[in-house]
Amino acid sequence: MRTFLDCVPCFMRQALDAARMTTADEALQEEILRRVLRDASEMDMRLSPPAMGQRIHRLIRELTGNADPYREVKERTNRLALDLYPEIRERVREAADPVEMAVRMAIAGNIIDFGVPGRLHDEPLGRTMDRAATAPLHGDARSFADEAAAATSILYLADNAGEIVFDRVLIETLGPERVTLVVRGGPILNDALRQDAEAAGLAGLVEIVENGSDAPGTIIEDCTEELRSRFLAAGMVIAKGQGNYETLSNAPRPVWFILMAKCAVIARHVGCEPGSLVIRS
Amino acid sequence: MRTFLDCVPCFMRQALDAARMTTADEALQEEILRRVLRDASEMDMRLSPPAMGQRIHRLIRELTGNADPYREVKERTNRLALDLYPEIRERVREAADPVEMAVRMAIAGNIIDFGVPGRLHDEPLGRTMDRAATAPLHGDARSFADEAAAATSILYLADNAGEIVFDRVLIETLGPERVTLVVRGGPILNDALRQDAEAAGLAGLVEIVENGSDAPGTIIEDCTEELRSRFLAAGMVIAKGQGNYETLSNAPRPVWFILMAKCAVIARHVGCEPGSLVIRS
């Protein structure tokens, strides 16, 4: 997916939120914003929005000297989600269609996103889970379950810390033995790294692979050679979240996307209402 | 008031909304946005937000070749407000405190603002009037009425087209014979020009003066020498709307501001909740 003009004000909002999250120094916040404005004035709109997100957050890390500004947030949301883990499992176990419910819970976890401006993530997670359990699902969870059951191998591209606990339940429901979990190669926003996958209890369950990139999505040409090969060879690819959708919606192979459509641009691209729960290939 | 970092994403949103309002050519919209990004990366944050608004809209007029993109919108909102004129007068006439009710109605008219992103102005005006008639008023309408009654001359700085019909009722309530109405010197957003004041029926009622500037506010050093003198000499100055507040909050003379606080930055500066009805000197 390319960058749309509507993404531009949102980049500035994201840059400001991230700058404030990273430093209390207002002069530095202003410097970050000016650099992002200049960068954005020359950006290549054919690239996906996460390409700009990658630039913004590299700049913030460089200017503030903080290699991982969201470390604390990630640890907090991991703990928060782990507390909910028994409840998530229970909801899935009791559901008439456990795979569909696990997908719904994985989408509920997608609310934990510090890359989206506004206060989406201020809603208590329990309420988000209630909503996700019953709201209309945009897409075909039945086909997803069938494909997952038949797949010889599944490459699961994770999204955010905290959210990854919800992904764990979906992975456990699909059968973890065929799943390889992919995390980002370096800190970017609150996206999950290897240590977050470990904190979520996924280390003993699945193979964990880093993608080699610090983009808030999967810019495939920015990933390691190994990841690129696995991406093409996997029996099934599941990509979590908006950033992975934005970067892989035109991928040269089928990908199942599981996400909450958090902004009007994505919703229009998917063909659903903003806020919708989406599962689609 | 200076420009705050939170104004920056809002400038981009405004620029995009205005570009789309002015041209359907997406390449031109993109060019406008890129130019505004570059401009904003070098802006002087000590200036008030309308200084950037002035630059943005000059750029849009220059790049699109459209000298007054909001002409049609202004005419439509003038007609819309004129249809409501009898009702506004009636509400004021029937009120226990006619000046306060006229102030409230003038604030209701301030909803007609195409410079504020979002869909504030999509609420039916009748409902806005109901709300404005009863919502808490942040400020001292009694002192305002007393000062207005005692003033030998009143300089009334108008804000938007359409809204100016509501201002007419306040001016009629205060007594039009001492009032001089000031409009912008050139097209900027949907701000009222001389022809809008005339359309609102103010020509026979008060003297109308153009301020010589195309800023969406009153940047006093950008106004004519005559306006600057009158501004200092007037017995009382009434400034309508957010743009006039942003540009005159540090003016070297007392000014009564009448506005709806439409964004969090203004609300914080005023010391009220966003959406509040404000009258203050």
A205, exposed or middle or buried, with CB in 10 Å at 0-12, 13-18, 19+? middle
- Classify domain A71-280 at the CATH superfamily level: Uncharacterised protein PF01937, DUF89, domain 3 (3.40.50.10880)
Structural fold of domain B7-64: Helicase, Ruva Protein; domain 3 (1.10.8)
**Position B242, amino acid:** Q
Residues in chain B, total: 281
ipTM: 0.88
C-alpha A232, offset from chain centre: 20
* Annotated domain spans of chain A: 7-64, 71-280
On whether any CB of chain B is under 8 Å from the CB of A7, the answer is no
CA nearest A29 in B: which residue?
A: B5
Q: What is the pLDDT of residue B121?
A: 53
On whether any CB of chain B is under 8 Å from the CB of A45, the answer is yes
Averaged over B145-169, what is the pLDDT?
Answer: 97
* Residue B235, SS3 per DSSP: coil
* Residue A166, SS3 per DSSP: helix
Does residue A127 have a pLDDT over 90? no
Q: Chain B: nearest CA to A4, how far in angstroms? A: 9
CA distance B117 to B72: 19
Q: What is the pLDDT of residue A233?
A: 98
Beta bridge partners of B156: B181, B238
CA nearest B11 in A: which residue?
A: A9
- Quick one: pLDDT band at residue A23, thresholds 50, 70, 90? very high
**Position B98, amino acid:** P
Closest CA to B160 of B80, B237, B100: B80
Token pair recorded at residue B210: 């153009």
Average pLDDT taken over every residue of chain A: 94
Sheet holding A154-157, edge to edge: A137-139, A277-280, A256-260, A236-240, A154-157, A179-183, A207-210
CA distance A1 to A271: 13
Q: What is the pLDDT of residue A115?
A: 65
On whether any CB of chain A is under 8 Å from the CB of B10, the answer is yes
pLDDT digit string (tens) for B63-75? 999 999 999 999 9
| CB pairs < 8 Å spanning A and B | 51
CA nearest A8 in B: which residue?
A: B12
pLDDT digit string (tens) for B210-228? 999 999 999 999 999 999 9
**Sign of the CA dihedral A149, A153, A156, A157?**
negative
How far apart are the two ends of chain B, measured CA to CA in Å? 14
DSSP E strand boundaries for chain B: 137-139, 154-157, 179-183, 207-210, 236-240, 256-260, 277-280
Closest CA to B40 of A38, A78, A240: A38
pLDDT digit string (tens) for B158-207? 999 999 999 999 999 999 999 999 999 999 999 999 999 999 999 999 99
Task: Tell me which chain A residues have a C-beta less than 8 angstroms from the C-beta of B16.
Answer: 5-6, 8-9
Reported as half-sphere exposure (CB side, CA atoms, 13 A), residue A109 has a value of 37
Q: What is the pLDDT of residue B126?
A: 84
Helices (H), chain A: 7-22, 26-41, 49-64, 71-94, 98-109, 125-134, 141-150, 163-174, 194-199, 225-233, 241-248, 264-270
Task: Tell me which chain A residues have a C-beta less than 8 angstroms from the C-beta of B8.
Answer: 12, 16, 33, 37
Phi-psi region at A261: left, alpha or beta (left = phi > 0; alpha = psi -120 to 50): beta
Looking only at Cα atoms, what is the longest distance across chain A?
Answer: 55
CA nearest A40 in B: which residue?
A: B37
Q: What is the pLDDT of residue A36?
A: 96
- Find which of A38, A41, A60, A265 to mutate to test the B interface (most B CBs within 10 Å of its CB): A41
The structure tokens 């209390």 sit at A24
Residues in chain A, total: 281
On whether any CB of chain A is under 8 Å from the CB of B34, the answer is yes
pLDDT digit string (tens) for B85-98? 999 999 999 999 99
The structure tokens 């919708």 sit at A276
CA distance A43 to A31: 18
pLDDT digit string (tens) for A246-263? 999 999 999 999 999 999
**Position A193, amino acid:** L
Task: Tell me which chain A residues have a C-beta less than 8 angstroms from the C-beta of B7.
Answer: none
On whether any CB of chain B is under 8 Å from the CB of A27, the answer is no
Sheet holding B137-139, edge to edge: B137-139, B277-280, B256-260, B236-240, B154-157, B179-183, B207-210
Q: What is the pLDDT of residue A94?
A: 97
Averaged over B114-121, what is the pLDDT?
Answer: 56
Closest CA to B238 of B200, B205, B280: B280
CA distance A50 to A46: 12
Q: Which of A112-126, B1-15, B53-67, B180-194 has the lowest mean pLDDT?
A: A112-126
**Position A52, amino acid:** M
- Quick one: pLDDT band at residue B102, thresholds 50, 70, 90? very high
CA nearest B20 in A: which residue?
A: A5
Reported as half-sphere exposure (CB side, CA atoms, 13 A), residue B10 has a value of 19
Q: What is the pLDDT of residue B113?
A: 73
- Classify domain B72-280 at the CATH superfamily level: Uncharacterised protein PF01937, DUF89, domain 3 (3.40.50.10880)
Between residues 96 and 155 of chain A, which touch chain B (CB distance below 8 Å)? Answer: 117
Token pair recorded at residue B186: 């050139």
CA distance B57 to B161: 17
CA distance A82 to A199: 9
On whether any CB of chain B is under 8 Å from the CB of A26, the answer is yes
CA distance B84 to B70: 21
CA distance B23 to B240: 29
Q: Chain A: nearest CA to B41, how far in angstroms? A: 4
Token pair recorded at residue A67: 């290699």
Task: Tell me which chain B residues have a C-beta less than 8 angstroms from the C-beta of A10.
Answer: 9
Closest CA to B238 of B82, B142, B103, B95: B103
On whether any CB of chain A is under 8 Å from the CB of B44, the answer is no
Averaged over B5-33, what is the pLDDT?
Answer: 95
Question: A9 and B5 in contact by Cβ < 8 A?
Answer: no
CA nearest A20 in B: which residue?
A: B5
Q: What is the pLDDT of residue A68?
A: 95
- Quick one: pLDDT band at residue B112, thresholds 50, 70, 90? confident
Q: Which of B9, B34, B41 sits opposite A9 (nearest CB)?
A: B9
Between residues 213 and 232 of chain B, which touch chain A (CB distance below 8 Å)? Answer: none
Task: Tell me which chain A residues have a C-beta less than 8 angstroms from the C-beta of B13.
Answer: 9
- Quick one: pLDDT band at residue B116, thresholds 50, 70, 90? low
CA nearest B28 in A: which residue?
A: A5
CA nearest B13 in A: which residue?
A: A9
Residue B215 gets which letter from DSSP?
A: S
Does residue B119 have a pLDDT over 50? no
Token pair recorded at residue A34: 């000016």
- The neighbour count for residue B3, using CB atoms within 10 Å, is 21
Question: A12 and B16 in contact by Cβ < 8 A?
Answer: no
DSSP string, A122-146: GS-HHHHHHHHHHSPEEE-HHHHHH
pLDDT digit string (tens) for B26-64? 999 999 999 999 999 999 999 999 999 999 999 999 999
Angle between helices A241-248 and A49-64 (to 10 degrees): 120
Does residue B23 have a pLDDT over 60? yes
pLDDT digit string (tens) for A229-246? 999 999 999 999 999 999
Question: A37 and B8 in contact by Cβ < 8 A?
Answer: yes
Averaged over A188-212, what is the pLDDT?
Answer: 97
* Residue B155, SS3 per DSSP: strand
Beta bridge partners of A160: A191
* Angle, CA of A67, A68 and A73, to the nearest 5°: 160
Q: What is the pLDDT of residue B39?
A: 95
Closest CA to A84 of A166, A172, A176: A166
- Report yes or no: B190 and B161 within 8 Å, Cβ to Cβ: yes
CA distance B212 to B214: 7
On whether any CB of chain A is under 8 Å from the CB of B264, the answer is no
Question: B16 and A26 in contact by Cβ < 8 A?
Answer: no
